[in-house]
Structure 1
Amino acid sequence: MQMLSRRSLVQSFLAVGSVTLAGVRSASAQRFDWLARLLVGASGAPPVDLTFIPSVQGAESIVPEVAKPIEPDACYIELYLESIRLAKARRFATRFHGVAYSFVTLAREGDARAQLAAISKPDKLAELDRGAIDKVIVVSKQMMGPTAYRGGPVLLQFGLFSVKSGNLLSPVLDYVTRVSSAAGNSYVGAIKPFLPLIAEGMDLIAGQREDTALEVGVDTAIDLKTGSVSAIVDLPRGSFNIDKLTLDKDRKLLLDGKPIDAGYAVFSFRPSAEKSDYGEIPELRDRYAAIQSALRGGKLKDAQDALAAFRLAAIASPDLIPADASKLVEKTTQKVRTAFPPGGVGDVSGPRPKAETLSEIQLYE
């Protein structure tokens, strides 16, 4: 994944959004400033206590991935946007975009709490017209990739917006979406430098009250024991029986068996036993490359030293659960042993190992 420099991103953002980033605040401060706009300012209306359902009844039969338990240091978690219904976009006479925003904060081993932000404008939410307002749009879009779960509550900010297209906000939205994509959605270290840009961009978009409508939003802490399917509904809390909410086979929200007549968003936290992008963890990728270089050069001592450094980095990595760290070390150790069998380098016949990246080690065979 090609990463843009911080300077080029800032310069581009200034050019597109005409926003000053002087005195950028900490990510934590941005989060709380953002909350005010998310739940009040973006809608331009008095605060409404929307209904948040932490766990939709029977949803595990529709999204089976959420049925598995979530235990600290034993799995990764992912965040998916499942389906939406836009209602407030009816005030726009022109076309509009559907935009999903998420900001997740969770414990991180040996470091400050991890913060992962994502702005998504899936194809199904792009350039919609008034004819799409009453439709339920099934997205199943990953907002946060597999991230090691270390225990404790998961803090979530989530917002679903309708943004008028064809004006100044469209290029700003396109740019912020590209920034989010460049940062990635699961490697904590990669996204950290981009958090101020994402927060400032969405702050600008939310502040344009004539051109932006907040459909639904929530700021909450979720204590995960198993995966869950949650929903935010644009109806006042207590105005309906949440036990009557279910999902149909297409992941659309039903109330007492009938489509619900309100804007909403359905999202899920899913446990995962695998982190498919483990090969992108920089400190592991670089140390593995050093092992490969030693193997190709037939340098036993260099390979042993590089393996020791890789082992320590894997065990200490906050991005891997212990089981995966051990498995990765075991597979890498076996590769070195195969390259240098008993008897020394002189007993090795045939060509030296080909160049291989960490991603090719096949951790999950």
Structure 2
Amino acid sequence: MGWLNNLLNKVAGVPPTDWTLLDDLTDPGIGIAGKPVSPDECYVELYVESLRLEKARRFATTFDGVIYSFASLAREGANRVEKASVTKPQNLATMDANNLGRVITVSKRIMGAIPWRGDPFGLELGLFSVKSGNLITPLIDYVTKVSDKAGLSIATKVDAFMPLITEGLDMIAGQKNDTEIELAIDTDLSLDRSRLCALVAKKKGTLASTDLTIDPQDRKLLQNGEPLQAAYCVFSIRSSNRNPDWGSIPALQDSYADFTNAINSGKHKEAEEALAAFNRRVITSPDLIPSDKNRLKEKARADLQDAFPGGGQAVRPAERERFKGRRLIDLNLYDD
């Protein structure tokens, strides 16, 4: 899939990756698990909820905790969408041995809303510690910034950034004495509902999901009611009926700008043609589910009707002023 296997091959002293994955933990009342995941009816998002580090004790100085993810999902009318993310949350920066063993609550979105088209959900997830200082710290910062610029949810923007992300990660992995794998997984999941999962640094078969629960307060992992004494990462795959980044889809932004410019020209026929072009962009967008596409087209049609009431050929002065500088996000897709 992505880069994780390359890291595992490069970093010295990495044990076999037979860690335990528990992919259907009981929701303790935080309202994440159990929501339907149906093709073309929802989006899915990936969050890291909490984690516990353990292996970085060998570093004599401070270290940074880094979360890497790579997701592969079916995409409408195109190849599978691949989303890479590298993040160094503030509470994982410049840690020392005194921080090891405590639970870090993150609850950070590491993959934005992607339309769900059907199984499988391909996932690489890695948590690793990197010694702070020298060249490696700015290198981590660089890879994190590139990942952020790639965007969390706009699939069309990631391709140009993927080589930069993987090359930077390769350089980090090359620092064998300064990089420590905490946890990693490369798997395909079948989804029919949102779920809470945990990757635990214990051998497969040594843990039962019935023995583990999630603390609703800080989302730490409990074994028989007590904090689990092992490295772990609790993460969630969430179902959502909204794409919070819909207004940032580049192709739709550009097409909507052409539409508003046509309205400001005052020519009804040109505005109609521009609306038709916008609708085509919406229909073919891989970043929206059908219900959102229909809603967006209706709102754009309402703009045309407001600008040319009764099918008239002249834009009302008030409407001409309103459409100056109007952006896609101003369509207010979800009526917030």
Which TM-score tier does this pair reach, normalised by the shorter chain? Answer: over 0.9
Q: 2:51 aligns with which of 81, 84, 103?
A: 84
Query: Do the aligned residues in 2 keep the contact of 1:43 with 1:214 (CA within 8 Å)?
Result: no
Give how far 1:346 is off.
4.4
Deviations 1:214-253 (A, max 9, x none): 0000000011110011111111111232321110011100
Name the % identity.
Answer: 45
Any runs of at least 4 consecutive aligned residues in structure 1 with deviations exceeding 6 A, and if so which? none
- Do residues 240 (structure 1) and 207 (structure 2) align? yes
Aligned to 2:51, the other structure's residue is in SS state strand
Give how far 1:338 is off.
1.2
- Do residues 319 (structure 1) and 291 (structure 2) align? no
Query: Do the aligned residues in 1 keep the contact of 2:121 with 2:190 (CA within 8 Å)?
Result: yes
- Do residues 35 (structure 1) and 8 (structure 2) align? no
Q: How does 1:190-229 map to 2 (within 5 A)?
A: 190-229=157-196
- Do residues 344 (structure 1) and 312 (structure 2) align? yes
1:55 and 1:97 map into 2 onto residues whose CA distance is 29
One-letter identity of the residue aligned with 1:344: G
Q: How does 1:175-324 map to 2 (within 5 A)?
A: 175-249=142-216, 250-324=218-292
Give how far 1:280 is off.
1.4
Unpaired stretches in structure 2, ≥5 consecutive residues: none
1:221 and 1:237 map into 2 onto residues whose CA distance is 17
Give how far 1:197 is off.
1.3
User: In structure 2, do the counterparts of structure 1 residues 186 and 346 end up closer, same or farther at CA, with 3 Å as the change threshold?
Assistant: closer
Q: How does 1:16-27 map to 2 (within 5 A)?
A: none
Query: Do the aligned residues in 2 keep the contact of 1:44 with 1:209 (CA within 8 Å)?
Result: no
Unpaired stretches in structure 1, ≥5 consecutive residues: 1-27
2:36 and 2:109 map into 1 onto residues whose CA distance is 20
Query: Do the aligned residues in 1 keep the contact of 2:305 with 2:311 (CA within 8 Å)?
Result: no
Aligned to 2:133, the other structure's residue is in SS state coil
Q: TM-score, normalised by structure 1?
A: 0.88
Deviations 1:293-319 (A, max 9, x none): 122221211110000001111011111
Query: Do the aligned residues in 1 keep the contact of 2:267 with 2:314 (CA within 8 Å)?
Result: no
Q: 2:127 aligns with which of 160, 184, 189?
A: 160
Name the stretch that deviates more: 219-228 or 63-72: 63-72
2:29 and 2:11 map into 1 onto residues whose CA distance is 32
Name the stretch that deviates more: 239-248 or 73-82: 239-248
Aligned to 1:279, the other structure's residue is in SS state helix
2:253 and 2:125 map into 1 onto residues whose CA distance is 32
2:178 and 2:190 map into 1 onto residues whose CA distance is 35
Q: TM-score, normalised by structure 2?
A: 0.95
Number of positions where the alignment pairs a residue of Structure 1 with one of Structure 2: 332
Number of the residue aligned with 1:121: 88
Query: Do the aligned residues in 2 keep the contact of 1:85 with 1:137 (CA within 8 Å)?
Result: yes
User: In structure 2, do the counterparts of structure 1 residues 172 and 109 end up closer, same or farther at CA, with 3 Å as the change threshold?
Assistant: same
One-letter identity of the residue aligned with 2:244: S
Number of the residue aligned with 1:23: none
1:196 and 1:348 map into 2 onto residues whose CA distance is 49
Give how far 1:149 is off.
0.7
